[in-house]
Amino acid sequence: MLDRIISELGPWNWMVLGFVLLVMEIIAPGIFMLWIGIAALIIGAVSLLIWDAGFWTWQVQVLAFLALSLISAYVGKKLVGGREDPTDQPLLNRRGAQMVGKMATLAEPIRDGRGRIKLGDTLWRVSGPDLPAGTQVRVTAAADTDLELTVERV
C-alpha cells in the first residue's frame, strides 16, 4: 500500500509533506517543524530531478530525509538560537536569584536543614545549618527553580 501511494504521487509526496509541516509550523509555532518541512521540500526537489534513478528508492529517500532533517534542525538552531540580546535586567523573573546577598531574620527555625525566612512580604523556604528562630542570616544562593534559598549565619 505504501509503495502504491509513493509511486502514484511520485516526487510530489515530499512536497506535500513539506507543505503540511510548514502549515503545522504556522498553526503551532515553535520553529521546529519549519526545518523538517524545509528538509522535506529539499528531498522533493531532489526527487524531481532524479526520480528515475535506480538507486533513488523510497528507503533511500527516507534515510536522506532523516539525515537532512537532523542537519537542517542543527543549522536552524545555530541560526536562530544565537540571537539572544543582552538585557539590562538579567535577574528579571528570577526572584530567588534577586534575593542572593540579602539579610533576613529566620521566621521559623532551621531544623534538619530546612526552615523559613521572611523577605519583604514573602515567606521563603530555606536550607542551611540548623539555627533557632530569630537568627540573622544572609542568602547565599537560590535553587534553579527559585523555590528554595540557601542561607548562612551572619
Q: Which residue has the higher pLDDT, 76 or 23?
A: 23
Q: What is the pLDDT of residue 2?
A: 67
Q: Which of 61, 82, 103 is the last residue of a domain?
A: 82
pTM over 0.75: no
Average pLDDT, integer, range 74-83: 79
Provide the angle, in degrees to the nearest 10, between the axes of the packed helices 2-9 and 58-81.
70
Average pLDDT, integer, range 84-107: 85
What is the domain-level CATH number for residue 101? 2.40.50.140
Q: Which residue has the higher pLDDT, 1 or 74?
A: 74
Cβ proximity of 105 and 118 under 8 Å? yes
Residue 88 belongs to some domain of the structure: no
What would the pLDDT profile of 10-69 be if each residue is shown by its tens digit?
Answer: 788 889 999 999 999 999 887 789 999 999 999 999 998 988 888 888 889 999 999 999
Residues 58 and 119 in one domain: no
Q: Which of 82, 103, 136 is the last residue of a domain?
A: 82
Exposed e or buried b per residue across 86-124, where buried means at least 16 C-beta atoms within 10 angstroms of its C-beta: eeeeeeeeeebbbbeeeebebeeebeeeebbbebeeeeb
What would the pLDDT profile of 97-142 be if each residue is shown by its tens digit?
Answer: 889 999 999 999 999 999 999 888 889 999 999 999 999 999 999 9
